[in-house]
C-alpha cells in the first residue's frame, strides 16, 4: 500500500482463534503508532502486528462435601478441586465406634482405599460408623487338684465364667469323694453355679 506524507493511516489487526492482538512493532519508518493510527512520514514504513496466545481458561473447581452419621469425624484432602484430582478421605471414629464405609450421596464416584478421582461436578460423601461389639467376656481355666486322689480331668475352661459340669475324682483306699472346694481344707463347695473371675485351682475333699 502507498500513501502520501501526512496522511493518517489506520491499522487493523485481527487475531486468529486462541490469540489476541498485543502491539504494533515499527520495523522501519521511525514514527509513533497511537490508538492504531500514525501520520505517514516521508519514508517507507514497515510495521509488524504482534499477537499473543490467549491464556488457557482457568479450569472449573468443584466442591467436595463430607458428612458423617454423627459417630465420628471425616474430611477430604481438598475442599475444592478440578476434575481428575485425586481426593483422599479420612475418617476418625468416636470412642466405641469403628469406621464402616463411605456412602456416596451425590457425584457418582467410586471410592477405593479411601480415595477417588474428582469428576466434572460436585461430590457429597458420608462417612458411616458402626458401634464396636462389646468385648467377649474373659473365660478362665479351672485346675482340679486331686488332694491325694486323681481327678478324671486335670482342668476345664469356664463358659460365661461357670463350669458346665464338674469332673469326678478317685482315690485308692476306702475314701469317698465329697466334691470340689475352694481350699484344701475348708473353703466353699464348688458347683455349676459358682462364678470364676480368674484362673483358679480347686481341691478335692475326701471322707
Per DSSP bridges, beta strands 61-68 and 123-131 are parallel
pLDDT in tens, 54-73: 998 888 999 999 999 999 99
Assess contact for 141 and 163: CB atoms under 8 A.
Answer: no
Q: What pLDDT is stored for residue 60 in this prediction?
A: 92
Average pLDDT on 165-178 reads: 95
How far is Cα 108 from Cα 147, in angstroms, rounded to an integer? 72
Let me know if 118 is exposed, middle or buried by CB neighbors in 10 A (0-12, 13-18, 19+). Answer: buried
In 3D space, the residue among 75, 60, 66, 28 whose CA is nearest the CA of residue 47 turns out to be 28
Q: Is the pLDDT of residue 8 over 90?
A: yes
Q: Is the pLDDT of residue 136 over 80?
A: no
Average pLDDT, the chain: 95
Q: What pLDDT is stored for residue 85 in this prediction?
A: 97
Q: What pLDDT is stored for residue 17 in this prediction?
A: 94
Assess contact for 156 and 142: CB atoms under 8 A.
Answer: yes
Assess contact for 69 and 127: CB atoms under 8 A.
Answer: yes
Going by pLDDT thresholds of 50, 70 and 90, the confidence category of residue 134 is confident
Q: What pLDDT is stored for residue 206 in this prediction?
A: 96
Q: Which residues, including other chains, have CB under 8 Å from residue 145's CB and lie 6 or more apart? A: 151, 184, 201, 202, 203, 204
- List the Cα angle 116/117/123 in 5-degree steps: 80
Q: Is the pLDDT of residue 93 over 90?
A: yes
The residue that leads in pLDDT, 136 or 187, is 187
Q: Which residues, including other chains, have CB under 8 Å from residue 193's CB and lie 6 or more apart? A: 162
Q: Which residues, including other chains, have CB under 8 Å from residue 26's CB and lie 6 or more apart? A: 32, 33, 45, 46, 47
Going by pLDDT thresholds of 50, 70 and 90, the confidence category of residue 202 is very high
This prediction's pTM = 0.47
Amino acid at each position: 500500500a502507498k500513501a502520501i506524507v501526512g496522511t493518517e493511516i489506520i491499522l487493523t489487526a485481527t487475531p486468529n482463534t486462541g490469540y489476541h492482538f498485543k502491539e504494533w512493532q515499527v520495523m522501519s519508518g521511525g514514527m509513533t503508532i497511537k490508538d492504531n493510527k500514525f501520520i505517514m512520514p516521508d519514508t517507507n514504513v514497515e510495521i509488524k502486528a504482534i499477537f499473543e496466545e490467549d491464556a488457557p481458561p482457568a479450569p472449573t473447581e468443584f466442591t467436595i462435601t463430607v458428612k458423617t452419621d454423627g459417630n465420628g469425624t471425616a474430611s477430604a484432602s481438598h475442599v475444592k478441586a478440578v476434575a481428575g484430582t485425586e481426593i483422599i478421605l479420612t475418617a476418625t471414629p468416636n470412642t466405641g465406634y469403628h469406621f464402616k464405609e463411605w456412602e456416596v450421596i451425590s457425584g457418582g464416584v467410586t471410592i477405593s482405599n479411601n480415595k477417588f478421582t474428582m469428576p466434572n461436578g460436585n461430590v457429597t460423601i458420608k462417612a458411616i460408623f458402626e458401634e464396636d461389639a462389646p468385648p467377649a467376656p474373659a473365660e478362665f481355666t479351672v485346675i482340679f487338684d486331686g488332694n491325694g486322689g486323681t481327678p478324671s480331668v486335670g482342668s476345664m475352661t469356664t463358659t460365661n465364667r461357670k463350669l458346665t459340669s464338674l469332673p469326678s475324682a478317685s482315690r485308692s483306699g476306702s475314701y469317698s469323694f465329697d466334691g470340689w472346694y475352694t481350699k484344701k481344707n475348708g473353703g466353699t463347695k464348688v458347683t455349676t453355679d459358682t462364678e470364676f473371675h480368674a484362673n483358679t485351682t480347686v481341691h478335692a475333699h475326701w471322707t
